Amino acid sequence: MKKIIIGILVVVVISFIVVLFTKNSSEVVENSQGDDISDVSNTEQDKEVMEEVDEKQTVIGSSVNGNDIVAYHYGNGSKELLFTSGLHGGYEWNAVLMSYELMDYLEQNPESIPENIRVTIVPVLNPDGLERAVGTTGTFTASDAPSSNSKLAEGRFNANNVDLNRNFDCDWQDSGVWQNKKVSGGTEAFSEPETLAFKNFVESTDPSAVVVWYSSAGGVYTSSCHNGVLDETTQLVKLFSKASGYPANEDFDFYEITGDAVNWLAKINVPAISVLMTNHTDLEVNKNIAGIKAIFGYYSE
């Protein structure tokens, strides 16, 4: 009987040692896995830092030909002001160059942006049209622009030959008008990847105001989509006009406009103005810097 009891005790002791060893081994494995998880976590943190470092720009979408449409950000305020150009690509290349000059100014003069404001600039909403005219989707010089009017006109449209400023959801039609010519408005409102990207970006950022640059008529224009001109829009036109020297206008009535970008913005109650530069070649940088400073002052209050 004594031998049996001793045998049982031996078995219990051995079992306890086995369990203890197994537990320690398990803890080693768990610690090892924990180290791996920690490494992954650090990698993710590094990725977040990289994204944070790169938050000065956002790819908001791509063109028909797969070219990136990039938004550049300046300032850290909670109030978003959106400035854009290049809907008509290479046809209005001077508006695109002016936007790049404006970006340089903000980069070199960050103190010009009030603390409560974040400025976003999308210099090229139609990269395919720009490339068609000047040979690139990025930065370029005035000497890269063609002198041929027909070549410039080709650059107005995207790769689907759609006039992007006839593709927004305000009085949209599949056939629009540009001067005395018929142009394609697309198969439906926002049928084009460029306009859809802009729509999605606007809806996700909810800007306090939007300024869209074009050329050429030499004026500042309000926006409306049968819902009246917002009081804030009227005020922005007056401020920009006074500061820049461009004449203030309520309506663009040179010819019928359908599917217009700023009118769509008005439809969704976003204050928006069009700034039409004087011609197709001059950059008029100082005039437009003065105009945006006036808008900064309005929204800094």
Q: How confident is the model at residue 59 (pLDDT cuts 50, 70, 90)?
A: very high
What φ, ψ does residue 48 adopt, rounded to 5°? -65, -40
Which amino acid is it at 69? I
pLDDT at 54: 59
* pLDDT for 9 beyond 90: no
Cα distance between residue 269 and residue 252, in whole Å: 19
Question: Could you say which DSSP state residue 260 is in?
Answer: -
User: Residue 156 corresponds to which tokens in the numbers above?
Assistant: 């107005």
Report the 10 Å Cβ neighbour count for 58.
Answer: 17
Cα distance between residue 168 and residue 185, in whole Å: 8
Q: How confident is the model at residue 161 (pLDDT cuts 50, 70, 90)?
A: very high
What φ, ψ does residue 122 adopt, rounded to 5°? -110, 100
Answer whether CATH 1.10.10.10 is correct for domain 56-299. no
* Structural element, H or E, at residue 73: strand 68-74
| Lowest-confidence pick of 10-14, 132-136, 226-230 | 10-14
Cα distance between residue 61 and residue 158, in whole Å: 14
| Lowest-confidence pick of 29-33, 142-146, 279-283 | 29-33
Domain ranges (residues) in the chain: 1-54, 56-299
Average confidence score pLDDT of the chain: 85
Cα distance between residue 284 and residue 217, in whole Å: 13
- Cα distances from 299 to residues 43, 71, 116, in angstroms, run 39, 21, 8
Cα distance between residue 148 and residue 155, in whole Å: 11
Q: How confident is the model at residue 250 (pLDDT cuts 50, 70, 90)?
A: confident
pLDDT at 17: 38
Q: How confident is the model at residue 27 (pLDDT cuts 50, 70, 90)?
A: very low
Mean pLDDT of all residues in 283-292: 98
Q: What percent of the chain has pLDDT over 90?
A: 75
Report the 10 Å Cβ neighbour count for 173.
Answer: 14
